[in-house]
Copies of this chain bind each other. A is one copy, B any other.
């Protein structure tokens, strides 16, 4: 594995080489077939919507550690955005993304067009069940259908041995684990921990939407989760009381509007009434116009 220093030497400048970039499905299939001609090859996929932060980079690093060939896909997936959501304003910066991926020694970036992924006449969707109904699924109908569909497509295009997702999107990770098992994809799904800013805010490409004043409010989500963890550590088991505590911590003012604060089973995303085993505390709130989510595994 090349160290960052070795990367720098590739271009003879201070920058790492950017990875190969492929925009078409047929081209990426050909590249992967070439890689697969070595039976020892281990292909890792990091599916992303781009605008990389340290959370994405931690997934690439994990893939780089485990796999001989690392593919990062960069695709802002229209199917997972609702009609009133931020598809058009979602932040994009491909040049910077490729440089950052290069520094993590990523081999290949798959950057398809919307037309390549959803050509005219496209009409098949992967529909997750109960796991996609609560939490974010309740406020974003169709969101997880879009996620499951694009990930199924990426699995079929790239046929990775391993695929890497962030725990920040805990319900997404659970949906993908479920889909991968249910549809018998021969892919190992790996979920990596949330990367946080110094004040506890979970890194998210959407944090770039926040004004300075809004950003100052953002830590309330993690504070609510820590309060829940603390309460459980002190013996509280009643999910209703813990949820109330989270709601109180998030509070409400002209900038902050809570969407949900739940205690759920980490695999099924079903609400649990009592924290008698490991559970997931999950919160969503709007800070200004920006919807943020966060979560924390808590154990009695």
Q: Are B184 and A157 in contact, with the CB atoms below 8 A? A: yes
A185 touches B (CB below 8 Å): yes
Interface of chain A residues 128 through 152 with chain B (CB within 8 A)? 128-131, 148-149, 152
Check if B129 sits within 8 Å of A182, measured CB to CB: no
Given A159-B186, A185-B156: A125 in contact with B127 (beta carbons within 8 A): yes
* A153 interfacial contact with B, CB 8 Å: yes
A179 to chain B: closest CB distance in Å?
A: 5
Q: Are A184 and B153 in contact (CB under 8 A)?
A: yes
Render A163-186 as a binary contact track against B, CB cut-off 8 A, 1 for contact: 000000000000000110011111
Q: Please name the residue on chain B nearest to A157 by beta carbon.
A: B184
Tell me which residues across on chain B come within 8 A of A123, comparing CB atoms.
Answer: 128-131, 178, 182
Separation of A178 and B25 alpha carbons in the complex (Å): 17
Bound-state Cα–Cα, A29 to B152, Å:
19
> In the complex the two chains form, what is the Cα distance from A235 to B127 in whole Å?
45
A37 located at the interface, meaning its Cβ lies under 8 Å from any Cβ of chain B in the complex:
yes
Closest to A37 in B: B39
Q: Does A124 contact B (CB under 8 A)?
A: yes
Consensus secondary structure, chain A interface: mixed
In the assembly, how many copies of this chain are there?
Answer: 2
Nearest-neighbor residue (CB-CB) of A159 within chain B: B186
Which among B39, B129, B184 is the interface contact of A125 at CB below 8 angstroms? B129
Nearest-CB residue, chain B, relative to A33: B186
Cβ contacts under 8 Å, A159 to chain B: 186
B186, A124: Cβ atoms under 8 Å? no
Q: Mark A117-128, 1 if CB is under 8 A from B, else 0.
A: 000011111111
**CB nearest to A158 among chain B residues:** B184
Contact of A183 among B126, B127, B129 (CB under 8 A): B126
Question: What is the CA–CA distance of A153 and B184 in the complex, to the nearest angstrom?
Answer: 6
> Which one of A122, A128, A156, A184 has the greatest number of beta carbons of chain B within 10 Å?
A184
Minimum Cβ distance to chain B for residue A132 (Å):
9
Chain B hits for A124, CB < 8 A: 126-129, 148, 178-179, 182-183
Q: List 24 A-B contacts (CB under 8 A).
A: A25-B184, A37-B39, A121-B268, A122-B182, A123-B129, A123-B131, A123-B178, A123-B182, A124-B128, A124-B129, A124-B178, A124-B179, A124-B183, A125-B126, A126-B126, A126-B127, A149-B183, A152-B183, A153-B182, A153-B183, A153-B184, A156-B183, A156-B184, A157-B184
Ranked nearest first, the 8 interchain pairs of A and B with the lowest CB-CB distance are: A123-B129, A124-B182, A156-B184, A127-B127, A124-B179, A153-B184, A157-B184, A125-B127
Residues of A that sit less than 8 Å from B by CB = 25, 29, 37, 39, 121-131, 148-149, 152-153, 156-157, 159, 178-179, 182-186, 268
